[in-house]
Structure 1
Amino acid sequence: MITRRHLIAATSLAGLGLPAVTSAQPRNPAWPRALNMGTAAPGGTYAIYGPAWGQIVQEATGVNISYRTTQGPNQNIILVNRKEVELGMVTMGVALQAWNGQGEWTQGNRFRDIRALFPMYDTPFHGIALRRSGITDHSQLNGKSVGVGPRGGTPGTYYPLILRALGVTPSAIRYGSASDLIGQVSDGLLDAFLFAAGAPIPAFSELETTNQVTIFGFTPAQMETIVKEIPELSKGKIPKGTYRTPTEDLNILGVYNFAIGHRSLPEDFVYELVKAVMTQNARMVQATAAAKETRPENWNKNTFLPFHPGAAKWFRENGFAVPDALVMA
Structure 2
Amino acid sequence: MKLGLKIYSVLLLLLLVISGCSSESNSEGSGNSSSGETLKYSIAAGSTGGGFHSGGTALSTVLNENTSNLETVVEVTGSSKDNVQLLQAGEVEMGLSSTEIAWEAYNGEFTFEGQPHDKLRTLFPGWPGVYMFVTLEDSGIDSVHDLDGKKYSSGPKGSANEVYADRVFKTFGIEPEIVNLPTSDAANALKDGTIDGFSIAWPSSAVTELETSHDVKIVLLGDEDKQEFLDQNPPYVWLDIPVGTYKAVPNGAESFGLYNLFLVSSDISEDTVYEIVKAAYENTDYIKQVWPQMADGMATEFVDKTTIPYHPGAVKYFEEQGVEIPEDLLPPESN
Q: TM-score range by the shorter chain?
A: 0.7 to 0.9
> Which one-letter code corresponds to 1:53 in the other structure?
L
Identity %: 27
The offset of 1:310, in angstroms, is 0.5
Q: Does 1:270 align with 2:273?
A: yes
Counterpart Cα distance in 2 of 1:108 and 1:280 = 39
- Number of the residue aligned with 2:300: 296
Q: Counterpart in 1 of 2:150? A: 144
Pairing 1:62-81 to 2, within 5 Å after superposition: 62=68, 63-81=70-88
Where does residue 117 of structure 1 map in the other structure? 123
Q: Would the aligned equivalents of 2:274 and 2:313 in 1 still touch at CA under 8 Å?
A: yes
| 1:71-220 to 2 correspondences below 5 Å | 71-104=78-111, 106=112, 108-165=114-171, 167-196=172-201, 198-199=202-203, 201-220=204-223
SS class of match (1:241): coil
**What stretches of structure 2 of length at least 5 have no aligned partner?**
1-31
Find the counterpart in structure 2 of residue 12 from structure 1.
none
- The offset of 1:244, in angstroms, is 2.7
**Aligned length in residues:** 299
Given that 1:141 and 1:168 are in contact with CA atoms closer than 8 Å, whether structure 2 keeps it comes out as no
Post-superposition offset of 1:45: 1.0
State the 1:31 CA deviation.
5.9
Preserved contact between residue 34 and residue 271 of structure 2 (Cα < 8 Å): no
Question: 1:283 — aligned with what?
Answer: 286
Equivalent AA in structure 2 for residue 193 of structure 1 = F
In 2: Cα distance, 1:225 partner to 1:282 partner: 41
SS in 1 for 2:332: coil
Following TM superposition, by how much is the alpha carbon of 1:172 offset from its aligned partner in structure 2, in angstroms?
A: 0.6
Contact 2:319–2:325 (CA under 8 A) maintained in structure 1: yes
State the alpha-carbon separation in 2 of the partners of residues 99 and 171 from structure 1.
31
Is the 2:53–2:74 contact (alpha carbons within 8 Å) kept by the matching residues of 1? no
Point out where structure 1 has 5 or more consecutive residues left out of the alignment. Answer: 1-25
Offset, 1:28: 3.0
Given that residues 308 and 328 in structure 1 are in contact (C-alpha distance below 8 angstroms), is that contact kept between their aligned partners in structure 2? no
Distance in 1 (CA, whole Å) between partners of 2:226 and 2:189 is 28
**Root-mean-square deviation (CA), in Å?**
1.8
Q: Please report how far the alpha carbon of residue 324 of structure 1 lies from its aligned counterpart in structure 2 after TM superposition.
A: 4.8
Deviation for aligned residue 1:142? 2.1
After TM superposition, the structure 1 stretch with the greater mean CA deviation from structure 2, 168-177 or 255-264, is 168-177
Deviations 1:148-168 (A, max 9, x none): 111111011121101222x14
How many angstroms apart in 1 are the aligned matches of 2:133 and 2:271?
42
**Which has the larger helix fraction?**
2
1:83 corresponds to which letter in structure 2?
Answer: G
Q: Which TM-score applies when normalising by structure 2? A: 0.84
Q: Any conservation in 2 of the 1:61–1:269 contact (CA below 8 Å)?
A: no
Report which of the two structures shows the higher radius of gyration computed on alpha carbons: 2
TM-score calculated relative to the size of structure 1: 0.85
